[in-house]
Structure 1
Amino acid sequence: MDEIFNGSAGKAAYEHVRGLLHPAILNHSIRVYLIADRAAGRLSLATEEREALAVACLFHDAGTAPAYDGPQRFEVEGADAASNFLAEREFHPTLRKQVWEAIALHTSPGLAERMGPLTRLVRLGVTVDFGSTASEVDEELRFSLQKFPRAGIEIVLGDAVVSQAVRCPSKAPASSWPGGLLAAHLANPENTGVNEAF
């Protein structure tokens, strides 16, 4: 499995998160990486940047894992976790900051697209995986993505974010994506399907 990730940091990140993330969220994170890495091939990224991209994709929803369920929004908790992971591997602070931003802003449309390449690539991976820009997926990439089943990711991820927000409402500010999910849940708590704000 780890042969698909760039460099030792990407492989180590996979080994780290696969024991922490819900299987559906892990598969989603791998699909985000496959999409983002394909797009990164059209850019002139340094080797270390490609490694950092793998870490950013694999950690982008790490804040939903119990191990990283701190008091901040799940995006920020995941960003902090990834930055610390890279610090342990002596990545340059500038690159760590770029990874932090990529994860912290991945649910922020209109902002992520105006930031640096790592942030744009993670955002692209997320939006493509959730179907908003399917033109980015050719037959070869589609074949690769199908190896990692969706397994109800929209329900799993939405429920993970909401369950944290119910316990700690400060993790879901009203104007944020978690806030929208929480509001939709509170308006229709009997819904067992995809959150209406997803």
Structure 2
Amino acid sequence: MDFSLEFPTGPLVEAVVSTVRNSESTPVFNHSVRSFFFAQLLAEHEGCLEDAAYDRDLLFAATVLHDLGTGSLAKGEARFEVEGADLAASLLQEHGLPAADVDRVWEAIALHTSPGIAERRGVLSYLTREGVGMDFGRHTELSSGWQEEIHIAYPRLDMVRSLVDAIVERAARSDAAGPRYSIGGELLRERQADGVTRLELAAASSPWAE
């Protein structure tokens, strides 16, 4: 793979970028795009590019849309991963993607905060979760040749705090949006109890400077 900071092309990609840019904060938008680039680097490292199930366009959709449930389109009626997956599925359906591809993207987004499950649900769910995780500092050795260029193009801008703010705000809207033991529910409870979450505290020691 000749890695670059180029997106795939086509009307769907344009719709994905427009939807995310117009509904999410800039730090969260940048995080979503970085997750795509990191997921591609992981795919190359692990030989996923040769897997028949690998699809760069679907990986772009799943990673860039994975936090759609934290943006202005989300109503806080379900946990943010599920609400974001529903919103993403509607967008993909509008652009005529086959039902099986829509379902794969839905699953990848809905499971991206579910360790031990996403990794066992196919290459798209695995790469989506791990690409997101790399943007939180996992597997930094895989991106050492590109991380500076990626971060210059899409800076962090205190991403973790911005993302946690958005997740917590939506989790507080209804019991269904912040159920016990969901990441949204736990971040909400940590903020209410301590004023800061473990995710934010961990960011202070992340290899990526926030």
> Which residue in 1 is equivalent to 2:34?
31
Shift of residue 12, structure 1, vs aligned partner: 2.4
Unaligned runs of 5+ in 1: none
The amino acid across from 1:92 in the alignment is: P
> Which residue in 1 is equivalent to 2:57?
51
Unaligned runs of 5+ in 2: 204-210
Count of aligned pairs between the two proteins:
195
> Which residue in 1 is equivalent to 2:122?
116
With over 3 angstroms needed to count, the CA separation of the structure-2 counterparts of 1:138 and 1:114, relative to structure 1, is same
* Superposition map of 1:139-158 within 5 A: 139-158=145-164
Aligned-residue sequence identity (percent) comes to 36
- C-alpha distance after superposition, 1:136-190 (max 9, x if no partner): 213134422332111111101111111112222321111111121012112113x
* Superposition map of 1:25-174 within 5 A: 25-41=28-44, 42-43=47-48, 44=50, 49-174=55-180
Q: Distance in 2 between matches of 1:187 and 1:4?
A: 42
Q: Distance in 1 between matches of 2:185 and 2:105?
A: 23
Structure 1 window deviating more from structure 2 (143-152 vs 90-99): it is 143-152
Tell me which of the two structures has the higher relative contact order, counting C-alpha pairs closer than 8 angstroms and 6 or more residues apart. 2
TM-score, length-scaled by structure 1: 0.88
The correspondence for 1:16, drawn from 19, 25, 39, is 19
Shift of residue 48, structure 1, vs aligned partner: 8.7
Give RMSD over aligned pairs: 2.4
